């Protein structure tokens, strides 16, 4: 898989993740002769080739810069083209821990969607594991197929991923040429409870199989839990991941005296504004009355003053300009703040385990 190899220098043909800003990452295919443009200028690919991964790349006019990073599933999740809602890394990590996804694990995943989860699964299960991914939406399937091909993930060319175009709720998970038995299952579907009964044919005969259903609504969780119970799954539990990232920032120190001074100033401005408005209304009324009485107003008009320019503000703050964090004209102190920009799609995570002994019970009860 292309995302599990590391190299030092950017080469022609590499897929890179371009870091554009704190919350903006983009996938970029390096092609000699092409140029990447953004608001900070032009970045010819020819100038990227040969640079060290992670090195800062300046625009031709030196007005901005980007970084080129080697794609990992975690970076891909932040940079990928969205075709659907996706699963983010905070959820993926707890799912991997609960499903015990390691090198060699065989996993079913449905649906593929934007393949955020697929990339993480394919990288972690490695060459000795296997990912069976299912998608019923034709164009999403085609796009994911091309993406998996480009990222060297497909099992037909030494990868570990098999992508199948199938409605798993209707037609189950069978694949043509081999029997399918897995250790872990991840369902990110609108109606997982319709797919659950089909899974029993594919659980591990010699060990446990773990499942996670990822659903945004409690009603979906309830229906899936009922379906899991009916199919012999046990240890059913639900989690929700709540992720907060803390950032080191500066906050302005505002003294009581400064605040009082500022409040007084606001009050003074308000009173002055009110007086000016009253005066303008009075003059407008006078003008209207003179016009009604047919009085001549051209030579000595009663001029209605427009808003006078406000007194030159003493500070940028009074000018309503943005004060830059750390501006030396102000006093600052260091604080920790929660970063509110983090993308994490909150869903409920329903987990359950299937044990081989359950299969004996099931076959006994059907005899």
Q: Which residues bind ligand SAM (CB under 6 A)?
A: 84-87, 110-111, 113-117, 134-137, 140, 167-169, 188-190
Pairwise CA distance, residues 138 & 16, whole Å = 27
Determine the Cα–Cα distance for residues 200 and 108; give it in Å rounded to an integer: 12
| In the complex, minimum distance from the CB of residue 158 to ligand SAM, in angstroms, rounded to a whole number | 24
Nearer to ligand SAM, 91 or 183 (CB): 91
Q: How far is the CB of 98 from ligand SAM (least distance, A)?
A: 16
Q: CA 346, CA 240: separation in Å to the nearest integer?
A: 7
| Closest to 29 (Cα-Cα) out of 37, 17, 43, 40 | 17
Q: Report the residue number, 30 or 213, with the smaller CB distance to ligand SAM.
A: 213
Cβ contacts of 195 within 8 Å, gap of 6 or more: 110, 168, 169, 172, 173, 187, 189
Give least dist CB 211 to ligand SAM, A. Answer: 14
CB of 77 to ligand SAM, least distance (A): 8
Residue 167 annotated as part of some ligand binding site: yes
User: Residues with Cβ < 8 Å from 148, sequence gap 6 or more?
Assistant: 115, 118, 154, 159, 161, 163
- Closest CB 168 distance from ligand SAM, rounded Å: 4
The angle that helices 116-125 and 89-99 make with each other, rounded to 10 degrees, is 40
Least distance in Å: CB of 200 to ligand SAM?
A: 17
Shortest Cβ 15–ligand SAM spacing (Å): 18
How many angstroms separate the Cα of 177 from the Cα of each of 73, 180, 293? Answer: 29, 9, 99
Say if residue 296 carries a ligand binding annotation.
Answer: no
DSSP letter for 364, please.
H
The 3-class secondary structure across 32-100, one letter per residue, is CCCEEEECCEEEEHHHCCCCECCCEEECCCCCCEEEEECCCHHHHHHHCCCCCCCCCHHHHHHHHHHHC
327 is in an annotated binding site: no
Which SS3 state, helix, strand or coil, does residue 249 take?
strand
Task: Select 163 or 353, whichever has its Cβ closest to ligand SAM.
Answer: 163
Strand intervals (E) in 104-208: 106-110, 130-135, 161-165, 184-187
Nearer to ligand SAM, 57 or 159 (CB): 159
**Nearest CB to ligand SAM, comparing residues 101 and 168:** 168
Q: What residue number has its CB nearest to ligand SAM?
A: 111
Q: Could you list the beta-strand ranges (E) of 224-361.
A: 234-240, 245-252, 332-339, 348-354
Binding residues for S-adenosyl-L-methionine: 135, 167, 188
């Amino acid at each position: 898989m292309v995302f599990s190899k590391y190299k030092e220098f950017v080469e022609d043909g590499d897929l890179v993740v371009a870091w554009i800003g704190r919350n903006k990452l983009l996938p970029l295919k390096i092609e000699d002769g092409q140029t990447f443009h953004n608001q900070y200028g032009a970045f010819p690919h020819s100038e990227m080739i040969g640079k060290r991964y992670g090195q800062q790349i300046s625009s031709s006019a030196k007005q901005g810069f980007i970084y080129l990073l080697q794609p990992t599933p975690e970076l891909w999740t932040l940079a990928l083209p969205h075709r659907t809602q996706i699963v983010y890394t905070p959820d993926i990590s707890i799912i991997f821990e609960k499903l015990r996804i390691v090198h060699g694990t065989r996993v079913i995943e449905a649906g593929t969607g934007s393949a955020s989860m697929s990339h993480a699964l394919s990288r972690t299960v490695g060459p000795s594991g296997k990912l069976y991914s299912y998608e019923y939406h034709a164009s999403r399937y085609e796009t994911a197929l091309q993406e998996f091909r480009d990222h060297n993930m497909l099992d037909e060319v030494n990868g570990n991923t098999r992508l199948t175009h199938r409605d798993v709720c209707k037609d189950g998970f069978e694949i043509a040429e081999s029997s399918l038995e897995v250790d872990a299952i991840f369902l990110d579907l609108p109606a997982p409870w319709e797919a659950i009964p089909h899974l029993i044919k594919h659980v591990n005969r010699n060990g446990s199989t773990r499942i996670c259903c990822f659903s945004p609504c409690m009603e979906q969780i309830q229906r899936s839990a009922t379906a899991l119970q009916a199919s012999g799954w046990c240890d059913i539990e639900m989690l929700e991941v709540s992720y907060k990232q803390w950032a080191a920032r500066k906050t302005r120190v505002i003294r009581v005296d400064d605040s009082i001074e500022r409040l007084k100033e606001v009050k003074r401005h308000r009173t002055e504004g009110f007086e000016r408005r009253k005066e303008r209304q009075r003059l407008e009324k006078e003008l209207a009355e003179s016009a009604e009485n047919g009085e001549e107003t051209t030579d000595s008009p009663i001029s209605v003053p427009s808003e006078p320019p406000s007194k030159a503000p003493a500070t940028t703050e009074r000018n309503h300009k943005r004060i830059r964090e750390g501006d030396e004209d102000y006093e600052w102190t260091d604080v920790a703040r929660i970063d509110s920009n983090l993308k994490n799609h909150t869903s409920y995570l329903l987990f359950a385990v299937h044990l081989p002994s359950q299969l004996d019970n099931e076959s006994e009860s059907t005899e």
